[in-house]
Structure 1
Amino acid sequence: MFVLGIVPPVATLAVFYGRYLRKLSGVTQDSLADATQLAEERIGNIRTVRAFAKENSELQIYMNKISHVLQLAKKEAVARAGFYGATGLTGNLIVLTVLYKGGLMMGEAHMTVGELTSFMMYAFWVGISIGGLGSFYSVLMKGLGAGSRLWELLERKPAMPLNEGIVLLPEEFKGAIEFRGVQFAYPTRQEFSVFNGLDLSIPAGSVMAIVGSSGSGKSTLVSLLLRLYDPVLGTITIDGHNIRSLNPRCLRENIGVVNQEPILFSCSIAENIAYGATKDGDLMMCDIEEAAKVANALEFIRTFPKGFQTMVGEKGVLLSGGQKQRVAIARALLKNPRILLLDEATSALDSENEYLVKEALDRLMEGRTVLIIAHRLSTIQNADAVAVLDQGKIVECGSHQQLLTNSKGLFRKLVEKQTIFQNSQKFVLNA
């Protein structure tokens, strides 16, 4: 009991030390994640960094973040060293205490040399064990601090199911879309409503164009249809089925998307096109070539020495904008979706590439329900109907010609502004 009197103070120290190290370890992991995220983002967009000559400033920002991580690591090292020293000192104090108390007891003839030697051996092993326990406890607390983030991810419940719900057969999926009283705000900006009672009906097999000013929520419609988000209020139905009740995987397999800036993977052209196939086992190279041909991509692909095996680089950086767009269209063709979402698919292209992409899109749109989101109003003249989105609602809906006849309508104002802008550009070019 005399010897073990040293243990309670060390145990108390261990409790406070464990809490401190656990918290410090979590903060260190978060800081390291921030620094890694910064490096990954800047390296992935190195062309933008160099275009703005920001190499030095970005390097300085990264050095500051890494320096912060280093300072936290130093704090952790000092705390661990102090605790190791305290536990090691405790073990040595136990041995010294045994020698001191045992010497007194031998002097009073209460203990023999053999008994003291035996007790010394026991005390020695207890001291070593306490020193080792300190090391184990320190590593355990560090692991608990770093593992708390991992447990948060493991215990997180998905906001929506991944592969559950009603599965529609191919012949049941017609593509009729309807928005009824949809209200929506992004989870990170809940105070700002994107839609306030949106109502829109798109018949199966028709082409609906959505126009509106920037920030009106046009691209948000695509995210809601793909069920990347759920509306706060209201319903979105496809063929009369609420998409909340549909299997998300089945839903997305029947929807094709062509974005303004298509994302390609860092692999070959053939692999990027094949990514659109819903059944990889039945896919053949002739199917990939046919999709590329319909998408007006076959001609430029054959100019590459390796053809379809040409690597496109990270995010398709080795291809031009028009080439990436046509590869994305070929990918959507191979998917053969019932619903097609075109999000500014030609707005970033020059005239020649726009013509080729538009020709490919016209082929892709045949026999499907199509939702076109466009800034260039000249690209939607052939749409069956045009819906004008403003302040979270559809304020006008009708054919292109019908909307133009409304002199006070928002659509006509948008057309007039764009016409004035285009005429001024032509004047500058002629000058």
Structure 2
Amino acid sequence: MHYMHSICSIHHTAIRHSNLCGKYARQNFEVWQIVTKLSVRIRKKHKSVGSFASPSTIEESKFEKSKVDKYPELIRLVKLYKPEKRQLMVSLTALSVSTSVTMCVPFGIGKVMDMASTNDVIQLPYVLGGLGCVFLAGSIANMFRVHTSNMIGERITNRLRQDTFQSILKQDMSFFDASKTGELINRLSADTTLVGTLLSDNMSQGFRSVGQAVGSVSMLFVTCPKLGLIMLTTVPPLAFAAVSYGRFVKSLTSNVQKKLGDATASAEDCFTNVSVVKWFAKEKYEIQKYESKLSDALALSRKRSKASAAFFGGVDLSVKISTLAVLGYGGHMVANGLLTTGELTSFMMYTIYVGFSFAGLSQFYSNLTNGIGASTRLFELKHRKPKISALTGTKNLPHPLQGRIQFHDICFRYPTRPNSQIFVNLNLDVHPNESVALVGPSGCGKSTIVALLARFYELDNDSCSGKITLDGVDIATLPIDELRGIIGTVPQEPPLFACSIRDNIAYGHQQTPTFEEIIQAAKEANAHDFIMSFQQGYDTLVSERGQSLSGGQKQRLAIARALIKNPKILILDEATSALDQESEKFVQVTLHRVKQGRTVILIAHRHSTIQSADRIAVISKQTIVEEGSYQELAANAQSLFRRIVVNHQSVI
């Protein structure tokens, strides 16, 4: 269930930010459910190798980096401004006006002081009035700068979240097999926020600091070139320190984000399985585990904090020492009549501006390195090409569709477990309108067969070869959305979204179904009566993952969701396993009726389900070893199927 929980968690985190992927998700949701149990198995067996976020992350996955490495990181960040060109011009214009006004302040104050010292009171009111008008213009410009830069950042963050959510949702199953939900959510929330903040307020403050630094240094030389040279002696060491600091902080920030991703994944896993935590009284253990992961992040943050303190303290000390030197030499020049009091005052204010500007640039550089680290992770994810794309496919579905499925010499290994062979030369022929039950011991590959049918994995290399055809057409040549659009599935443990019952059932439809269609699907699944027993009926809200419903109620909603799709191929992963005997009788009759005109694959657990199948395929030793009806296999004393039934072994 972890895979579907991953998708559900990501979906509900980003749904208010993104509507781009609704159609894609709706077309594929029903089919994604068939690998929920399969994904859990993959994760358990793959833990010893490593996982997506601990210790490895997306950076350590085998991404296609051709596009990622093509442009420098900063260039790719600047490209995010492209849709905001007009607003960016407004913001830069307002920034220029605001910065120019700021540069006038020391000059104006110096002139006022010189006028006061020479008793030039006639022109003083005019100068003060002019400065007041200039200051008012600067304040208005600053207001526009703040507003436009903030809105630019919000829109960029929104687009980043949309693109990231879309990219995650379009990845192939091997990506999710090796990924942690918490890490993906961290990308979707924390990393996008870091980049958005960088490109809005931080970038605006950075440009402002650059403008003030250039303007202040220029005015220093205009006011007194000798004193200006003294101030410039601090620039080279500060620049070198800034570059060194930036590289160090960038690396630390990236590691902090990884550790926070681990902590988020741990919390998500705990909340997802909170009932298990409660049953085994493991609250203290989970708290300690979460605190331990936070402590790892805190230790790295402490290093980053010390580096920041040393850097900014050094910058501040350098500026103040330069200020003292300027004040001493400037006072000597005033005493000798080489500089007026107003000019020295203006120079000292420009010196302070230079100090603030360098401090602002240092902070901006720190934020820039943090944002670049976050953007690198986002761009890697954005440009990762899924091995199986929804846009692939050169042929259309056969018409009219009969529903014959053939597996030809299937050899398969999971990408996350390349040393474990699942199938060797597996062959299976499922005829149109036939129901076939897949039977075998746990881990034999029953769920893998339907995962391959849905093209969650490709058969395109030496360890993964063979061909699957639908009415004689290789499914590798069919568009994925069309292929999955004709497949409906009812999983053993159905995940539900935290929305209304009506929306949960409608989710299985390719378009937007009518309310009458929703009711009809619910009635066929024997769900209508219990739905109407709720006070709000079909508008009753389902809690996250359907925890407010019983197992049988969730199962029947999943059946309704599959039936409203009217699929040609139906996959039933023991669809009645969570039902009581009375409900099972009704649903078995319903499933028997809806099988008509459909090709059905049953992942069988109960004898009643196995007996209802037209044919049984027994999987063992990486292939299908027996085929036949229930009566034929049960009557054969040498058959593996009979031994399983007689010994009451699990056929999960």
* TM-score normalised by the chain length of structure 2: 0.60
Verify: 1:274 aligned to 2:502, yes or no.
no
Distance 1:271 1:284 in 2: 11
Alignment of structure 1 residues 396-411 onto 2, 5 Å: 396-411=626-641
Which shows bigger deviation, 87-96 or 42-51?
Answer: 87-96
Q: Residue deviations 1:100-157, cap 9 Å, x none?
A: 66789999x9x93359948766655444432222121111112122322212211211
Distance 1:243 1:133 in 2: 56
CA contact (8 A) 1:212 1:375 kept: no
Distance 1:165 1:252 in 2: 13
Which of 379, 383, 399 is the equivalent residue of 2:613?
Answer: 383
The residue identity in structure 1 corresponding to 2:588 is: K
CA contact (8 A) 1:180 1:234 kept: yes
Tell me the equivalent position of 1:229.
Answer: 457
Alignment of structure 1 residues 12-411 onto 2, 5 Å: 12-99=240-327, 112-113=338-339, 117=344, 123-166=351-394, 168=396, 171-231=399-459, 232-280=464-512, 283-411=513-641
Distance 1:313 1:301 in 2: 15
Distance 1:199 1:76 in 2: 58
Give the aligned CA root-mean-square deviation in angstroms.
2.6
Q: SS at 1:204's partner residue? A: coil
Distance 1:297 1:127 in 2: 71
Q: SS at 2:407's partner residue? A: strand
Q: SS at 1:300's partner residue? A: helix
Distance 2:361 2:254 in 1: 22
CA contact (8 A) 1:322 1:354 kept: no
Distance 1:311 1:113 in 2: 77
Distance 2:305 2:489 in 1: 51
Which shows bigger deviation, 6-15 or 189-198?
Answer: 6-15
Q: SS at 1:265's partner residue? A: coil
Measure how far apart 1:308 and its partner are: 1.8
What stretches of structure 2 of length at least 5 have no aligned partner? 1-228
Measure how far apart 1:174 and its partner are: 2.1
Q: Residue deviations 1:297-348, cap 9 Å, x none?
A: 2222222222222223221222222221111111111100000011122334
Measure how far apart 1:32 and its partner are: 1.6
CA contact (8 A) 2:397 2:483 kept: no
The residue identity in structure 2 corresponding to 1:306 is: Q
Distance 1:242 1:139 in 2: 51
Measure how far apart 1:80 and its partner are: 1.6
Q: SS at 1:182's partner residue? A: strand
Distance 2:230 2:529 in 1: 90
Which of 645, 648, 652 is the equivalent residue of 1:415?
Answer: 645
Distance 1:170 1:189 in 2: 34
Higher helix share: 2
CA contact (8 A) 1:388 1:395 kept: yes
Measure how far apart 1:158 and its partner are: 1.9
What stretches of structure 1 of length at least 5 have no aligned partner? 422-431
Distance 2:473 2:638 in 1: 37
The residue identity in structure 2 corresponding to 1:178 is: Q
Distance 1:277 1:352 in 2: 28
Distance 2:436 2:648 in 1: 20
Measure how far apart 1:389 and its partner are: 0.6
Distance 1:315 1:166 in 2: 37
Distance 1:386 1:235 in 2: 21
Q: Residue deviations 1:40-80, cap 9 Å, x none?
A: 22223222211111122212222222233333333222222
Tell me the equivalent position of 1:429.
Answer: none
Q: Residue deviations 1:146-205, cap 9 Å, x none?
A: 322212211211221124424635843221111112222222212112112211111121
Measure how far apart 1:391 and its partner are: 2.0
State how many pairs are aligned.
416
Higher strand share: 1
Measure how far apart 1:11 and its partner are: 2.5
Measure how far apart 1:215 and its partner are: 0.4
Which shows bigger deviation, 142-151 or 94-103?
Answer: 94-103
Q: SS at 1:279's partner residue? A: coil
Q: SS at 1:403's partner residue? A: helix
Q: SS at 2:638's partner residue? A: coil
Highest RCO, 1 vs 2 (Cα 8 Å, sep ≥ 6)? 2
Distance 2:231 2:552 in 1: 81
CA contact (8 A) 2:254 2:374 kept: yes
Distance 2:534 2:623 in 1: 47
